[in-house]
DNA sequence: TCTGGGGTCCTAGGACCC
DNA sequence: TCTGGGGTCCTAGGACCC
């Protein structure tokens, strides 16, 4: 039986790389990608990181710098990133059956049917790296180890400390050297809170964390933390998650460009979020029984005392993915929890809990079967039309409430074209054909 | 003027039941 | 009214991830 080895393939500065695929002249130049509303930086190219631009920094704070350093900035273009991500993943899947797509830009693979010498593993990784780049234009790094946590660490080393972009944390000496060298915040599962807590006990590098007393870790960080420590020692606690893992919750939330005080605006926003939620439910073939909504105040406004955080939950009479039913329930719920607050609300969210696959859902005893069928037909028709003609071509009027402006709608000023998913945004290359033909004719004559 | 969105897992505590 | 053990379900909140 071959040894089980994990590889983590991670795209380098993924969003920035996606933008570069279609703008190759930006190779080597600093790029950032902005969050919704063009609020803050969510992704930076290596060159932008070198300028000191960090994840999460508000865009207005670096606008001056952008001018000075010829920084290129983009609004997020999730359709483009999502499409390129799928292409990368399908290349990986051509190499092995066990691929866990962990996020939009990374995936775990199992290498157990290969020769498990370090040399062979590195060779294979390089091959994958080159092939992904050839097929998609996206550069990736590969980390290899016996546990997921170590593979993550190996990937970090591959990215930061090697020119090849592949690295194996397999033999004990290498593991010790790097664990001594790297700070604990590089470990998967150790975030800001634990870094602070652990530093109180003098634990700052990975080697110290790995050698900490397990019972003490269990008390301080729970079973999750204990698993992390065991994985750092090479004991495998995490498996590859099967691809059909179904999600448990679906959330749609957005911040608004400005604070909203009017309930009409909020109704319109909640209705629109709920519409998205319905689309997602149907896309995943799920229904929901429980709907939760929340409103939050602007956390950056100071001196406001306790956070205004309104939330409410409603149990639906039966599981559904019908936008009409969901919207009316959400709006009723909003009206019942809404309290006026002069500073307004900055963000609203709608969440579906207790998800059920639509195949096994029993229809409500009291609902007649025909209305269920009608609802399904209507939703299918709406989804089809909106897919073909564009988002919101057909929608419930609540989401464009009569008294509401569109003050809550998102800003995306600098979005690049959706090159690979929209017919009218394809990359066009202009070639003067006449000229080209004349040139060729000349060459022919001469030869 | 301008500060993201979407998830997971685990734990503690309260309500309620036998 | 008090006493005890054991269990389930739900919710809120804390930690993390990308």
Please determine, for residue A304, whether its predicted confidence score (pLDDT) is greater than 50. no
CA separation, residue A175 to residues A154, A172, A227 (Å)? 9, 5, 18
Cβ pair A110, A240 in contact under 8 A: yes
Does the CB of A195 sit below 7 A from strand C? yes
For the beta sheet containing A250-260, the strands, ordered from the edge strand earlier in sequence to the opposite edge, are: A250-260, A345-357, A286-296, A309-320
Does the CB of A62 sit below 7 A from strand B? no
Please compute the mean of the pLDDT values over residues A113-141 and round it to a whole number: 93
Q: How crowded is residue A127: how many other Cβ atoms within 10 Å of its Cβ?
A: 13
Average pLDDT, chain A: 88
Instruction: Give the C-alpha separation, A211 to A175, whole Å.
Output: 13
Separation between the CA of A342 and the C1’ of C10 (whole angstroms): 33
Separation between the CA of A224 and the C1’ of C7 (whole angstroms): 25
Please determine, for residue A81, whether its predicted confidence score (pLDDT) is greater than 90. yes
Separation between the CA of A225 and the C1’ of C16 (whole angstroms): 10
Q: How confident is the model at residue A442 (pLDDT cuts 50, 70, 90)?
A: low
Does the CB of A65 sit below 7 A from strand C? no
Q: Residues A375-407, buried b or exposed e (16+ Cβ, 10 A)?
A: beeebeebbeebeeeeeeeebbebbebeebeee
Separation between the CA of A227 and the C1’ of B17 (whole angstroms): 35
Q: How confident is the model at residue A188 (pLDDT cuts 50, 70, 90)?
A: very high
pLDDT tens profile A320-336:
999 999 999 999 999 98
Cβ pair A292, A312 in contact under 8 A: yes
Please determine, for residue A245, whether its predicted confidence score (pLDDT) is greater than 60. no
pLDDT tens profile A145-164:
999 999 999 999 999 999 99
Q: Which residue has the higher pLDDT, A387 or A92?
A: A92
Please determine, for residue A369, whether its predicted confidence score (pLDDT) is greater than 80. no
Q: How confident is the model at residue A356 (pLDDT cuts 50, 70, 90)?
A: confident
Does the CB of A223 sit below 7 A from strand B? yes
Please compute the mean of the pLDDT values over residues A331-350 and round it to a whole number: 88
Please compute the mean of the pLDDT values over residues A74-88 and round it to a whole number: 94
The pLDDT of residue A305: 45
pLDDT tens profile A23-53:
999 999 999 999 988 999 999 999 999 999 9
Which of A58-67, A83-92, A396-405 has the least mean pLDDT? Answer: A396-405
The pLDDT of residue A3: 76
Please determine, for residue A190, whether its predicted confidence score (pLDDT) is greater than 70. yes
CB neighbour list of residue A25: distance below 8 Å, 6 or more residues apart:
none
The pLDDT of residue A371: 80
Does the CB of A242 sit below 7 A from strand B? no
* Nucleotides of strand B within 7 Å of the protein's CB atoms: 1-11
Please, what sign has the CA dihedral across residues A360, A361, A364, A368? negative
The pLDDT of residue A364: 59
Q: How confident is the model at residue A308 (pLDDT cuts 50, 70, 90)?
A: low
Residue nearest to nucleotide C12 (CA to C1'): A311
The pLDDT of residue A342: 82
The pLDDT of residue A198: 95
Which of A73-82, A119-128, A312-321 has the least mean pLDDT? Answer: A312-321
Please determine, for residue A447, whether its predicted confidence score (pLDDT) is greater than 80. no
């Amino acid at each position: 039986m071959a040894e089980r080895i994990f590889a983590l393939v991670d795209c380098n500065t993924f969003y920035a790389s996606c933008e570069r695929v279609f703008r190759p002249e930006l190779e080597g130049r600093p790029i950032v990608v902005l969050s919704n509303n063009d609020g803050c930086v969510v992704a930076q190219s290596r060159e932008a990181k070198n300028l000191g631009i960090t994840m999460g920094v508000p865009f207005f704070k670096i606008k001056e710098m952008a001018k000075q350093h010829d920084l290129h900035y983009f609004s997020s273009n999730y359709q483009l990133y999502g499409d390129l991500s799928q292409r990368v993943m399908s290349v990986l899947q051509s190499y092995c059956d066990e691929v866990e797509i962990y996020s939009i830009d990374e995936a775990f693979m199992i290498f157990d049917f290969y020769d498990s010498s370090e040399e062979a593993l590195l060779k294979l990784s390089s091959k994958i790296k080159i092939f992904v780049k050839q097929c998609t234009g996206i550069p990736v790094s590969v980390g290899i180890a016996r546990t997921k946590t170590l593979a993550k660490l190996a990937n970090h080393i591959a990215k930061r400390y090697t020119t090849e972009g592949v690295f194996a944390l397999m033999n004990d000496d290498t593991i010790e050297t790097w664990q001594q060298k790297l700070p604990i915040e590089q470990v998967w599962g150790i975030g800001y809170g634990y870094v602070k807590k652990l530093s109180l006990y003098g634990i700052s590098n990975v080697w110290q964390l790995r050698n900490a007393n397990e019972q003490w870790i269990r008390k301080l960080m729970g079973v999750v933390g204990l698993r992390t420590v065991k994985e750092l020692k090479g004991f495998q606690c995490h498996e590859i998650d099967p691809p059909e893992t179904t999600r448990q919750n679906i959330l749609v939330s957005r911040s608004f460009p400005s604070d909203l005080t009017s309930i009409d605006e909020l109704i319109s926003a909640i209705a629109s979020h709920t519409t998205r939620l319905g689309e997602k439910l149907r896309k995943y073939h799920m229904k929901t029984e429980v709907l939760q909504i929340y409103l939050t105040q602007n956390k950056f406004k100071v001196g406001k005392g306790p956070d205004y955080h309104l939330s409410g939950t409603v149990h639906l009479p039966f599981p559904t993915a019908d936008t009409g039913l969901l919207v009316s329930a959400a709006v009723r719920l909003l009206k019942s929890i809404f309290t006026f607050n002069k500073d307004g609300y900055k963000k609203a969210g709608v969440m579906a809990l207790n998800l059920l696959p639509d195949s096994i859902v029993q229809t409500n005893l009291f609902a007649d079967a025909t209305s269920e069928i009608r609802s399904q037909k209507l939703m299918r028709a709406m989804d089809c039309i909106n897919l073909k003609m564009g988002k919101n071509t057909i929608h419930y009027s609540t989401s464009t409430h009569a008294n509401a402006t569109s003050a809550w709608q998102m800003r995306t000023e600098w979005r690049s074209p959706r090159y690979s998913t929209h017919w009218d945004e394809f990359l066009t290359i202009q070639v003067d054909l006449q000229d080209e033909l004349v040139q060729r004719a000349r060459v022919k004559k001469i030869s």
